Structure 1
Amino acid sequence: MDTAPAPGQAQLTFRHATEDDVPVLLRLVESAYRGDASRAGWTTEADILEGQRTDAEGVRDAVTAPSGRMLLAERDGEPVACCQLEHRGSAAYFGMFAVKPELQGAGLGKVIIAEAERAVRASWGVSEMHMTVITVREELIAWYERRGYRRTGELTPFPYGDERCGIPRRDDLVFELLVKKF
């Protein structure tokens, strides 16, 4: 799917990522969440987590999952955003959402999530989208709530001790399930 460009911007295109895209996807995800580069955007987790956000194996698993895909958004052939979509019965799971930090705050995230929602309804006929967000990320949760997601109160512990998910800088991290019904 293509979207109409904003004035002065090239058209945004979407495609399913392939295994060849794993290095690019990994850099995109890491840049949006970890390290000093992530501070250029507002989605950084650098103050609550150090280390990596994911690894090449995790990205490859998302790309090749039989029940899912990675949606890649490009502008002029340059990757600018991505998200993981996974079919889970009557719902789809939305994860590994990343927008290049220097492009955050300009409305691109709204376009990506809307396309993800459209794609899972069209491809899988699901009636809702699920995601998990670290509860201390109040600004991010509020952003999702403005897009129709609701907090469920269903919590999952953060995987402390599993450095594949990062190294926590605090001891109160927990995920909450957010849901949007279509």
Structure 2
Amino acid sequence: MTTPSIPVFRVATPADVDAIVALVQSAYRGESGLRGWTTESHLLDGQRTDAADVSDLIGRSGSRLLLAESDGRLRASCHVERRDSHGYFGMFAVDPTQQGSGLGKQVLAEAERIAREEWQCSGMRMTVIVQREELIAWYGRRGYRRTGEYLPFPYGDERFGVPRRDDLRFEVLQKEFDEVAA
């Protein structure tokens, strides 16, 4: 792990699609994903996202693909979307060589700021594969709680990967923003 300089945040454009796909794939799948702790390689094979999915998120109304860059390089990204009174946080990826540097905390904080201050959302929701206990614990340390609400894994849809086990499902995590946010 190397320590990047302070990240610069910006919104993704269509010109960023290939770099975002490569970053997300490197954080979750294959050999490069094994360098970081966010890999899902023990749960899923195949792709994590593709250019069509990323392009759709960039062009979707009420949606933002947030990029974090430092030293002239893409270091992290996430998807933030307004859904009724809450923001939705997803497709979060940090370059495996930057994981553990604090960059992920900064990206999550910026996504929460967008939802809270720009969209006036009352909180943030996300889904996490239930077998990712270490990731659920990481979010728990940042104020997210398990809701007990579960969603099925999209078996048969290889756009989400090829499952290596038959018991995958998502749990919804939620964080309510404080009324008196600083």
TM category, shorter: over 0.9
Counterpart AA for 1:179: Q
Number of the residue aligned with 1:106: 101
Counterpart AA for 2:100: G
Which residue of 12, 25, 29 maps to 1:17? 12
The within-5 A match list for 1:150-165 is 150-165=145-160
Contact 2:76/2:94, CA 8 A, preserved across alignment: yes
Which residue of 117, 122, 127 maps to 2:112? 117
Number of the residue aligned with 1:3: none
Name the TM-score, length of structure 1 as normaliser. 0.94
Partner secondary structure for residue 40 of structure 1: coil
- Which is further off, 114-123 or 135-144? 114-123
CA offset digits 1:120-167 (Å, max 9, x no partner): 112100001000000000000000000000000100000001001000
CA distance in 1, matches of 2:109, 2:139: 11
Shift of residue 64 of structure 1?
A: 1.1
CA offset digits 1:60-112 (Å, max 9, x no partner): 11111111110000002210000000011110000000000011012111111
Partner secondary structure for residue 45 of structure 1: coil
Counterpart AA for 1:132: T
CA distance in 1, matches of 2:145, 2:35: 27
Which residue of 21, 27, 34 maps to 2:22? 27
CA offset digits 1:25-74 (Å, max 9, x no partner): 00010100000110010000001100000111111111111111100000
Number of the residue aligned with 1:144: 139
Number of the residue aligned with 1:4: none
Number of the residue aligned with 1:5: none
Number of the residue aligned with 1:173: 168
CA RMSD of aligned residues (A): 0.9
Number of the residue aligned with 1:55: 50
CA distance in 2, matches of 1:50, 1:11: 33
Partner secondary structure for residue 105 of structure 1: coil
Partner secondary structure for residue 135 of structure 2: helix
Q: List alignment gaps of at least 5 residues for structure 1.
A: 1-7
CA distance in 2, matches of 1:159, 1:11: 37
Number of equivalences: 175
Partner secondary structure for residue 42 of structure 2: coil
Counterpart AA for 2:45: E
CA distance in 1, matches of 2:53, 2:72: 24
The within-5 A match list for 1:63-102 is 63-102=58-97
Shift of residue 9 of structure 1?
A: 4.5
